[in-house]
Chains A and B, each alone.
Chain A
Amino acid sequence: MDVMPKWAEVVLVPLISLLLAAILSALVILAIGEDPVAATKLMVEGAVGSVRGWGYTLYYATNFIFTGLAVAVAFHARLFNIGGEGQAMLGGLGVALALLFIPWPHWTIGLIAASLGAAVFGAFWAFIPAYLQAKRGSHIVITTIMFNFIASALLIYLLNEFLKPVGQADPSSARFAPHLDLPTLNSVLNGMGIKASKDDSVNVTFLIALASAFAVWVLMWRTRLGYEIRAFGHSESAAKYAGINPVRITVITMLISGGLAGLMGVNTVMGESEKLLLNSTEGAGFIGIAVALMGRSHPVGVVIAAILFGFLYQGGAELALWTSIPRELIVVIQALVILFTGALDNMVRMPLERMFLAARLRRAPGPERKPVEPAK
């Protein structure tokens, strides 16, 4: 069945896709009269060449791990959850409500409460589309994307009318208590006497993201529920025949998916801005789709793809800072990577498969193969 060895499937295909995207991006940069070599150097140095760079790369990666996992879990049940954006927004709201109104004594307890708030709110936002899909057959793609808009409208209303301190221009909540600041890589390094910048970037939420990735792996490949989810995804009718309740699986999968997307709010709201902003998700919910596609819906792949996208985001920020490459072009570069690794996956995969097939046939001719004569 497997035409390609595993290493080619996992490493070679994404690598060639990336290379193609990089070449095309270089051409685009050339076309606007900038130097692609210098631009690449700037991106690499800015994103992974310093503690600060790594801090932001991993900060963005944390967001993408959560949303990527959310999409990946739903993918296994053949549910296309494109509502990660809205679920993450609600997750952020959950974080804010958990931290604003209860005086937690220490950030560790605050973090547990915030994570619970984020997961519950995110899951709740996924529950309604899940229920509608399971019971009424309303297509999940349509309902989840519509829920993104409802989420942003809800958020703006709540911020304007209830959460915003009176007289403040910014539609954002009050700041959380200072002792609830999450420890960041930079603050830990500074504490150890190593001089680092003071940016609020990657924080302890990154570890939660890695733990979530591991938990998703256990769930999907080591538990009965995970087996049911995957079976349901492969064939709904067969799963039904085997006694799997499709309503139950749809709802549970989406609850897990929404909860994971919601957890992203801990990183952005509690870790970075330390208050609820109107615009804290910034499209990470949609990037999660690309991350899940590129990571082939496997937690390890999702983590690697998320770090790659974190690199692109942080590298893009550096480009914007130090060159005159317009930000629209940085989006183009990011889009090219998504296009090649996600949408055009087969363009690389199929020629590669053919190559490996040809190589295998040459190496091991085996029993003589004759073209089958057409039946007469």
Chain B
Amino acid sequence: MTLMTKFMGAAAATALCAGAALAEPALIFDLGGKFDKSFNEAAFGGAQRWAEETGETFREIELQSEAQREQALRRFAEAGNNPIVMTGFAFGDVLSQVAPDYPDTDFAIIDMVVDQPNVRSVVFNEHEGSYLVGMMAAMASESNTVGFIGGMDIPLIRKFACGYAQGVKAANPDATVVANMTGTTPAAWNDPVKGSELTKAQISQGADVVYAAAGGTGVGVLQTAADEGILSIGVDSNQNHLHPGKVLTSMLKRVDNAVYQAFTDGPGMEKGFNVMGVANGGIGYAMDENNADLVSADMQAAVDDAAAKIADGSLQVHDYMSDDSCPALSF
């Protein structure tokens, strides 16, 4: 009975708020879920940062099914939420259908280009960042074999893998890249156990640096790499702190900044096509006290040099998605 009263009290204290406040921004997470330790979580972090700084609130939803994409967009738009930010390329097609129906609502989509007057499209040059960490992997490797573990075999992940392989070959033309994908269902984005198994399999093939671009699966990759005494490379967020001294670096994809920026700009934000790359700081690699000892001065100089060349355009990294092919790696 006392438990019951306690429950009742708690329930009364936090009554459901019905109806959204006007112009409250909204964030829609893709099927991977908010806490994937990677892409969606970075978006959440950006929104959270905005909420803390402004003291305002935002709406959010973690999708459970494909049919919910359209529903969530329309419901938020009709409830007056503005702007509406969504993470993931899978929204592209739906958004291009929905956006014209709500000309007064601003949308921002990350990882996809939607050509509508009320949409801001933010895309990242993941291949550039992957190229840089690939160079570091090749220079740190003693066995001349490095690994790549992707989530699902989709074009976006091939883009990561392709950039990485190009970086590896640029630093060491004789190096071998072992690439694996975790699975064939969306569960592959959150399967640390499988990530761990793949890491062990790659170690047995001689890999001594592995790069994980697999969402929550990467947690298992980094863990196993640390346990087995090899180096790993994190993705999206700075994951160096997960295993200090064991994570070589992290490929940074500042999704958080993109969300933060969209929320800060608010309704009436600038629309159009936003490319976030090495040149404008949207993509980079993480250096902090956790990996300072792992990165030698030579390595640092080489990578900084490459980053500068990418930024000024004198070094072009091939983008897998431009023609669905990769010069440095076959899938």
| Residues of chain A at the chain B interface (Cβ within 8 Å) | 27, 30-31, 33-36, 38-39, 42, 52, 56, 59-60, 149, 152-153, 155-157, 160, 164, 166-172, 175, 197-201, 268, 272-273, 275, 277-280, 282, 313, 316-317, 320-323, 326-327, 330-331
B206 at the interface (CB under 8 A from A): no
Chain B residues closer than 8 Å to A27, beta-carbon distance: 7
Which size class do B's interface residues fall under? 35 or more
Partner of B93, one of A35, A170, A279: A170
Partner of A33, one of B13, B68, B322: B13
The total of Cβ contacts below 8 Å across the A-B interface reads 129
A272–B8 Cα distance when bound, in Å, is 41
A201–B66 Cα distance when bound, in Å, is 11
Q: Is the CB of A169 within 8 A of B11?
A: no
Chain B residues closer than 8 Å to A39, beta-carbon distance: 16
Q: 25 A–B contact pairs at CB < 8 A?
A: A31-B7, A33-B10, A34-B11, A34-B16, A35-B14, A155-B184, A160-B153, A164-B155, A167-B321, A167-B322, A170-B90, A171-B154, A198-B74, A199-B74, A273-B66, A275-B93, A277-B90, A278-B186, A282-B65, A317-B71, A320-B68, A321-B71, A321-B72, A322-B16, A327-B62
Q: Is the CB of A56 within 8 A of B71?
A: yes
Chain B residues closer than 8 Å to A198, beta-carbon distance: 74, 101
Restricting to B1-59, which residues have a CB under 8 Å from any CB of A? 7-8, 10-16, 18, 20, 31, 33, 59
Smallest distance from the beta carbon of A61 to chain B beta carbons, Å?
12
Q: Is the CB of A321 within 8 A of B65?
A: no
Which of B8, B70, B156 gathers the greatest number of chain A CB atoms within 10 Å?
B70
Chain A residues closer than 8 Å to B156, beta-carbon distance: 169
Q: Is the CB of A170 within 8 A of B7?
A: no
Q: Is the CB of A200 within 8 A of B66?
A: no
Chain B residues closer than 8 Å to A60, beta-carbon distance: 67
Partner of B154, one of A160, A272, A327: A160
A323–B19 Cα distance when bound, in Å, is 10
| Residues of chain B at the chain A interface (Cβ within 8 Å) | 7-8, 10-16, 18, 20, 31, 33, 59, 61-62, 64-68, 70-72, 74-76, 89-90, 92-93, 101, 111-112, 152-156, 184-186, 321-324
Partner of B10, one of A30, A149, A273, A327: A30
Q: In the complex, what residue of chain A is closest to B26 when comparing beta carbons?
A: A321
Chain B residues closer than 8 Å to A200, beta-carbon distance: 70
A170–B93 Cα distance when bound, in Å, is 9
A331–B15 Cα distance when bound, in Å, is 22
Chain B residues closer than 8 Å to A168, beta-carbon distance: 155, 321
Q: In the complex, what residue of chain A is closest to B91 when comparing beta carbons?
A: A170
Once A35-B15, A166-B324, A330-B64 are accepted as A-B contacts, the answer to whether A30 and B90 lie under 8 Å apart by CB is no
Interface of A is mostly: helix
Once A30-B8, A160-B155, A167-B322 are accepted as A-B contacts, the answer to whether A38 and B16 lie under 8 Å apart by CB is yes
Chain A residues closer than 8 Å to B59, beta-carbon distance: 321
A197–B98 Cα distance when bound, in Å, is 11
Partner of A38, one of B7, B15, B66, B70: B15
Q: Is the CB of B92 within 8 A of A170?
A: yes
Chain A residues closer than 8 Å to B184, beta-carbon distance: 149, 152-153, 155-156
Smallest distance from the beta carbon of B228 to chain A beta carbons, Å?
28
Q: Is the CB of B64 within 8 A of A152?
A: no
Chain A residues closer than 8 Å to B154, beta-carbon distance: 156, 160, 169-171, 278
Q: Is the CB of B75 within 8 A of A321?
A: yes
Chain A residues closer than 8 Å to B15, beta-carbon distance: 35, 38
Smallest distance from the beta carbon of B72 to chain A beta carbons, Å?
6
- Beyond A156-B154, A170-B154, 8 additional contacts (C-beta under 8 Å) are A42-B18, A160-B154, A167-B322, A167-B324, A170-B93, A198-B74, A268-B67, A275-B93
Chain B residues closer than 8 Å to A175, beta-carbon distance: 93
Q: Is the CB of A326 within 8 A of B11?
A: no
Smallest distance from the beta carbon of B205 to chain A beta carbons, Å?
22
Q: Is the CB of A33 within 8 A of B11?
A: yes
Q: In the complex, what residue of chain A is closest to B13 when comparing beta carbons?
A: A33
Q: In the complex, what residue of chain B is closest to A33 when comparing beta carbons?
A: B10
Chain B residues closer than 8 Å to A273, beta-carbon distance: 66, 93
A147–B250 Cα distance when bound, in Å, is 37
Q: Is the CB of B155 within 8 A of A317?
A: no
Partner of B11, one of A36, A42, A152: A36
A125–B164 Cα distance when bound, in Å, is 38
A156–B188 Cα distance when bound, in Å, is 13
Chain A residues closer than 8 Å to B93, beta-carbon distance: 170, 172, 175, 273, 275
